[in-house]
Amino acid sequence: MATQKRKPSILDIGSAASKESSSHGSIQIAEDSQSVLLSLPSGASAKVLLYGATVVSWKIKDRELLWLSEASALDGSKAVRGGIPLVFPVFGPPPAGTPVESLPQHGFARTSKWNLLGRAEDEEGSVRVDFGLSPDSLDGETKAKWAYDFGLIYSVTLRESSLETKIVVQNSGSGAFDFNVLFHTYLRIPDVSTIGVQGLNSLTYRDKTLGGTEHQESSEVIKITSQTDRVYKSAPDAITVSEGDKPLYTVTKTGLEDVVLWNPYSDGVEKIGDWQPKEGYKNMVCVEAGSVAQWQTLEPQSTWEGGVTHKAHL
């Protein structure tokens, strides 16, 4: 997505009360100030940790739609296993010889404490919370590893049947920087053996289970029958997860190039220490919208934005 020339600025933290509500929706800040709960009169809700700005729950009428490991750390000690972790500024292990080479896998956004910026609502019955991250929010070690003058504004919008996540990346420095970004969404499903993923046919994908070799997708409906870790390049804007003829989710991306399809399956979960229950791979699939097949370059005094809407068909 082309950058837009405008002076970026991270907003100051808003005067958010512990609870705000209206006829459209409400926001509640936990007593420990570590999480935010969005809710609508329809019964839809979403919970977001300030740690990593990670969405850890999305419900419609008490039905949980995100998968979260029972062993996941939610105290800020490590990245959350499940929900919607945010990957920035690098996807996967950092390549040697690049400006991100000293960063941890998947970068620092998912392991940093974000600031709560404020809330908004609209007449259509949605509620939104904005979070911010800048160099001032990082510890000295992380800033030394990625010494750019950046700003991130991350928005989570809850609607009656959908959840939207959007990120704005700002470069307020004097030099360009490269980055990856990805919404690492763990969708909860009834049974991995009965679902199919549609919308990726004929695309080129990089298969990380086969040494990163490239292949062309030949299936109209992709079935998960073994460990799956693929990066589909230049994917269409809408991907569907279905059970038979019944759509379960539609994942619609904006300003993002690629889609990652991931399920560790039975052999992969044995290598993941915080994955519980081990059989949980049967009840999740990651359909992750992002720009990760190549670097996004952001020029000085410019912004970039991208987002994804997850719609549930209940």
C-beta separation of 89 from 180 below 8 A: yes
**Cα separation, 313 vs 170, whole angstroms:** 34
Residue 150's identity, in one-letter code, is F
DSSP one-letter string for 116-166: EEEEEE-TTS-EEEEEEE-GGGS-HHHHHHS---EEEEEEEEE-SSEEEEE
Cα dihedral sign, 221-188-308-262: negative
Residue 213: CA atoms inside 13 Å, Cβ hemisphere, count? 5
296 labeled binding residue: no
- Dist CA 128 CA 36 (whole Å): 11
Sequence letter at residue 224: I
Tokens of residue 239, six digits: 């991907």
Q: Which amino acid makes up residue 284?
A: M
Measured CA to CA in angstroms, residue 240 lies from 171, 209, 236, 264 at distances of 34, 23, 11, 20
Contact 267, 227 (CB under 8 A): yes
> Hey, which residues are catalytic here?
184, 288
Nearest to 20 by CA among 124, 128, 165, 133: 128
DSSP 106: T
Rounded to whole angstroms, the Cα distance separating 79 from 273 reads: 12
Asked if residue 81 belongs to a known ligand binding site, the reply is: yes
Write out the binding residues. 81, 105, 110
Write out the binding residues for substrate. 81, 105, 110
